[in-house]
Amino acid sequence: MQELKRNTFTTSLDDEEVSLEVSDIAKQANAAVIGKHGETVVLATVVIGNEREGIDYFPLTVDFEERFYAVGKILGGRFMRREGRPSDDAVLSGRLIDRTIRPLFDMRLRRAIQVTITILAYDEVHDPDMIALLTVSAALSISDIPWNGPVAGVFGADGKAFFAGSEGKINMIEFEGSDASEKELIKLFETAQGKIDQLITFQKDIIKKIGKEKIELTFTEPSAETKKTVQELLKQKLETALENKALHDLERELTAILEERGESREDIALARFLLEEQIELHVKNLIITKKQRIDGRSLDEVRPLYAEVGLFNRTHGSALFMRGDTQILSITTLAPPSGNQLIETMKTSESRRFMLHYNFPNFSVGEAGRSRGPGRRDIGHGTLARKALSAVIPSKELSPYTIRVVAETLSSNGSSSMATVCATSLSLMDAGVNVSKHVAGIAMGLAYDEKSGAYEIMTDIQGPEDHYGDMDLKVAGTEDGINALQMDVKVSGITKEMFEKALPMARKARLEIIKVLKEALAQPRDRVSSYAPTILLHSINPDKIGALIGPGGKTINGIIAAVGEDVSIDIDEDGTVFVASVNKEHAEKALELVKGTTREFSSGEIVDGTVIKLIDFGAIVDLGGGQTGMIHVSELKDGFVDKVSDVVKEGDAVRVKVKKVERGKIGLSIKDVPS
């Protein structure tokens, strides 16, 4: 029998065992590791391909593969029971890992690297993201793939925060909260760094024992003539290109010169990389040594702001927010609870009542190309903005609406996700959603010389500063604190000192933006749009839910048919009924029928009804809403009654007294009704 060799390494994190296993599993990959945390198990594989000719970027792919078997479920549509396209959760988890490991590769690498994480088991307690990142890091570290890891990441703040990085530095952050202080975030940073360093020490021991020798990288240098061409072009036109925001024109001009000279695709790609490298050095040097930004702003200056609400009559809420050349149009739509989005993934099954969808069309950056569905970046930006605003969305009891916001990027030159937060805050208020306060966001940047340690933090980075800078720290919140934070870097990471310096600067900018938002619309409108549905609430005994629905939905569908197809009726498990319609009169009429159907009668109550059937020992009375009661023959009148029909007939309107209510049956009396 063939033997499966295993090397298992264990450590402790928050008093729980974490293990990494290296064996012959997936042995044809450059490296494969199985990670375990509790009963959550992941497989991480890393593979490096051959050189890809003629490209001028680093081809890294990170795939996060959810498997429903990991939680013992068979999900998917009725006719497609296998996993389809990745869920948003899977996309975000993949991005989280990508953003952590990418800065530690040499960007000159042109060999495709594919990282695949497969979730083999999920115990619904230990989120796979932490162990997945650790396992990927271990696989890259022990493989022969050139990489400057290891890294690790840990959760904090009851799972609402995730910090990742290398030894002594943080290079990726995700945080969602409600009015968190800068001090709280700095404390989380510090605590996370200690745990990350512990996990890196653990990996270093594994690398010493089983790590492979790394592939030796050799990079082709541009020819001396090409270098001279790049330097001359930069000397002649860089300043003008920076002033006129025409860096792309500079690259196109270089390409044209080299093509005319007959240079190969590979040489042109090398020249472009050199051009980018030199521009980056120039931009960062200006900021660090002269505190000079390419658009002339001071380091803590926000670009000009503009905000407007109520752009369209037919939409339920709308707002336009502009910061410099970045423009976001945010549209809010309100719907009944039936409009909630069902989220069904490996990790969760939930109904979401607040949705925020972000679009980034080609024209927003002056490009032409195929229109595609939302990509990883779009999903990530929309999710970040939703996290920032979720804390101020009113509860279902205060505002029963399902809320969908669509953010259209009309023009982008730096941090459209934070502009989305600002535009959406206004759009929600314009729609009459009683959000508790305004939320705004700002992106902070960094110019960092890792050799000397010199650096400067910048407020409100625009496109070139994002592209050539070393950090994109997005901070969103209210006047009272931080609701969401996300950070990516292009260097090995940032220190606590840098983080401490950036957050107060972000707060100053956030308050400046909120002031502009308040000038456009200080508080939510006191009523929703006339084009939004009316939603009426009513509470019933949960025991009456079945009666309201009726067999096969007969009763509830009958109410809708009687009033109008524009009516919807939703029922929560606690007995809260939501009656909605774009026609207020229809909603009110449907609510009355709901009340009649679920009315609870009590002994001694006097009610009106209609006789609908005579039986030998009494009469059946329709009490409204599909409910009936019975008058026993002895309760028709004082004295002896020979025939029921001598006292009442079918169709008679009668006033009756409720004698008793037992197990849903209602006993009535005519003779006991006061005259």
Ranges of the chain whose pLDDT falls below 50: none
252 belongs to a structural domain: yes
- Strand pairing report for 6-13 and 665-669: unpaired
Contact status, residue 130 vs residue 148, Cβ threshold 8 Å? no
A 10 A CB-CB count for 171 gives: 25
First to last CA, the chain: 96
pLDDT in tens, 614-648: 998 899 998 887 788 899 988 888 888 888 888 89
pLDDT at residue 57 in the model: 85
637 and 656 both lie in a single domain? yes
Phi-psi region of 625 (alpha: psi -120 to 50; beta: other; left: phi over 0): left
CA 107/CA 124 separation, integer angstroms: 37
pLDDT at residue 341 in the model: 83
**Angle, CA 673 vertex, CA 668 and CA 674 arms, to 5°:** 165
Query: For residue 43, what are the β-bridge partners?
Result: 34, 118
Put the strands of the sheet holding 402-411 in their side by side order: 305-309, 317-323, 326-335, 402-411, 354-359
Give the CA dihedral 38, 43, 44, 48, nearest 10 degrees.
Answer: 170
Contact status, residue 414 vs residue 463, Cβ threshold 8 Å? yes
Domain harbouring 631, CATH code: 2.40.50.140
The closest alpha carbon to 171, from 185, 151, 157, belongs to 151
pLDDT in tens, 100-124: 999 999 998 999 999 999 999 999 9
pLDDT in tens, 173-215: 999 999 999 999 999 999 999 999 999 999 999 999 999 999 9
396 belongs to a structural domain: yes
Contact status, residue 42 vs residue 26, Cβ threshold 8 Å? no
338 and 430 both lie in a single domain? yes
Domain harbouring 153, CATH code: 3.30.230.70
Q: Looking up tokens 């996993």, which residue turns up? A: 83
In sequence order, what DSSP letters do the residues of 158-216 get, joined into one string? TTTEEEEEETTEEEEEEEEEEEE-HHHHHHHHHHHHHHHHHHHHHHHHHHHHHPPPPPP
329 and 359 both lie in a single domain? yes
Contact status, residue 426 vs residue 441, Cβ threshold 8 Å? no
In sequence order, what DSSP letters do the residues of 56-120 get, joined into one string? -S--EEEEEE--GGGGT---SBTTB-S--SPPHHHHHHHHHHHHHHGGGS-TT--EEEEEEEEEE
103 and 121 both lie in a single domain? yes
Contact status, residue 214 vs residue 30, Cβ threshold 8 Å? no
Last residue of a domain, one of 185, 210, 235: 210
Angle in degrees, 0-180, between the axes of helices 416-430 and 496-520, rounded to the nearest 10: 30
CA 299/CA 292 separation, integer angstroms: 8
525 belongs to a structural domain: no
3-state secondary structure of 405: strand
Last residue of a domain, one of 485, 520, 555: 520
- The conformation of residue 494, written as its DSSP 8-state character, comes to B
Domain harbouring 593, CATH code: 3.30.1370.10
**Angle, CA 428 vertex, CA 363 and CA 533 arms, to 5°:** 105
CA 253/CA 481 separation, integer angstroms: 47
Query: For residue 331, what are the β-bridge partners?
Result: 318, 406
63 and 192 both lie in a single domain? yes
180 and 241 both lie in a single domain? no
Contact status, residue 171 vs residue 493, Cβ threshold 8 Å? yes
38 and 166 both lie in a single domain? yes
- Strand pairing report for 31-37 and 326-335: unpaired
pLDDT at residue 78 in the model: 61
- Domain of residue 315, residue span: 305-520
CA 364/CA 367 separation, integer angstroms: 7
pLDDT at residue 358 in the model: 96
18 and 158 both lie in a single domain? yes
513 belongs to a structural domain: yes
- The conformation of residue 360, written as its DSSP 8-state character, comes to -
Domain count, the chain: 5
190 and 243 both lie in a single domain? no
CA 43/CA 47 separation, integer angstroms: 13
Q: Quote the strand ranges of 625-652, DSSP E.
A: 627-632
pLDDT at residue 139 in the model: 98
pLDDT at residue 323 in the model: 97
334 belongs to a structural domain: yes
CA 335/CA 316 separation, integer angstroms: 10
The values of phi and psi at residue 51, to 5°, are: -60, 135
A 10 A CB-CB count for 126 gives: 18
266 and 386 both lie in a single domain? no
The closest alpha carbon to 408, from 329, 295, 494, 324, belongs to 329
512 belongs to a structural domain: yes
Alpha-carbon distances of 392 from 177, 340, 434, rounded to whole Å: 11, 18, 9
Last residue of a domain, one of 290, 319, 345: 290
Put the strands of the sheet holding 482-489 in their side by side order: 152-156, 161-166, 169-180, 482-489, 471-477, 440-448, 455-459
363 and 470 both lie in a single domain? yes
Angle in degrees, 0-180, between the axes of helices 416-430 and 376-390, rounded to the nearest 10: 50
Q: Looking up tokens 């009033």, which residue turns up? A: 563
A 10 A CB-CB count for 14 gives: 8
- What's this model's pTM, rounded to 2 decimal places? 0.88
Write the single-letter amino acid at 224: A
- The residue count of the chain comes to 675
A 10 A CB-CB count for 674 gives: 6
Contact status, residue 200 vs residue 151, Cβ threshold 8 Å? yes
47 belongs to a structural domain: yes
364 belongs to a structural domain: yes
39 and 88 both lie in a single domain? yes
